[in-house]
Amino acid sequence: MIAECLVAEFRIDGDDCPLARATDAVPVAVDANAPQLRADGNVLLHFSAPADDRLPEALDDDDAIRYLHVTRGDDTYTFRCLSKHSCVVHELVDAGFLVESMRYDDGGATMRGAVVGYDVLRGVMETAGGTVGIQLQRVYPLRADEESPIGRAWDLTPAQEAALRAAVEMGYFDLPRSITARDVADELGISKSAFLERLRRAQQSVFGALLE
């Protein structure tokens, strides 16, 4: 039995997949679920990004994208589509990487997930390094409380869950409100705009699941 599970975060550049190409052309950050590889080699994608009409236009112009569907909200667009281009994440999964979150920006991707032991981690690094540029940004042992049932239940990224937890615990949703968005952002060590974006995305996931 392997006693140690590791949380790893990679930055990947050079993966010529549609989301990387789109964020290279349009200055937005795309939060994506793990892509689903079909038996025919095509990939099902589900992702979201700040509202910007240039992104769906860039994706629609990409020959690798088919059946693009966009749900437009006031602040966020949610996308579902099929891609004819498999990305490097499938090779990482084959090597033992358990994907938890993916963010595309500036033509690259930051991927966070788990690997079972350092031998698997080395295998994942070697697999990615053979095709794209990869940097290991963080790695640490998975704690007993790392896998939050809240995040799993409501499809939140770790950053979104942290923002939502901090907002609740600090009284951001109290009536009357006792603290400001700047107070919560300072506690998290991020900018006010980054906190509000994460909070809106977390609320969208939770409310969307409740109202669906």
In this prediction, residue 151 carries a pLDDT of 44
* Interior/surface letters 183-207, b for 16+ CB within 10 angstroms, e for the rest: bbbeebebeeeebbbbbbbbebbbe
- Asked if 58 and 87 touch (Cβ cutoff 8 Å), the reply is no
User: DSSP assignment, residue 188?
Assistant: H
**Domain ranges across the chain:** 6-141, 149-211
107: buried, middle or exposed (CB in 10 Å: 19+, 13-18, 0-12)?
middle
Give the 3-state DSSP-derived string for 141-165, with helices as H, strands as E and coil as C: ECCCCCCCHHHHHHCCCHHHHHHHH
Say what the pTM is. 0.65
pLDDT 10s digits, 124-142: 888 777 666 778 777 777 6
In this prediction, residue 52 carries a pLDDT of 92
**Pick from 142, 184, 187, 190: nearest CA to 167:** 184
Low-confidence ranges of the chain (pLDDT < 70): 1-4, 130-132, 142-155, 208-212
pLDDT 10s digits, 129-179: 766 677 877 777 765 555 454 444 456 777 888 888 888 888 888 888 888
**Pick from 142, 140, 147, 158: nearest CA to 5:** 142
Q: Return the bridge partners of 43, or none.
A: 37, 83
Cα 46 from chain centroid (whole Å): 10
Half-sphere exposure of 155 (CA within 13 A, CB side): 16
User: Alpha carbon of 40 to those of 60, 93, 95, 99: distances in Å?
Assistant: 22, 17, 20, 21
Task: Give the DSSP H/E element, type plus range, for residue 123.
Answer: helix 118-129
Half-sphere exposure of 185 (CA within 13 A, CB side): 13
In this prediction, residue 145 carries a pLDDT of 52
Residue pointed to by tokens 């070697």 = 126
In this prediction, residue 183 carries a pLDDT of 92
In this prediction, residue 137 carries a pLDDT of 77
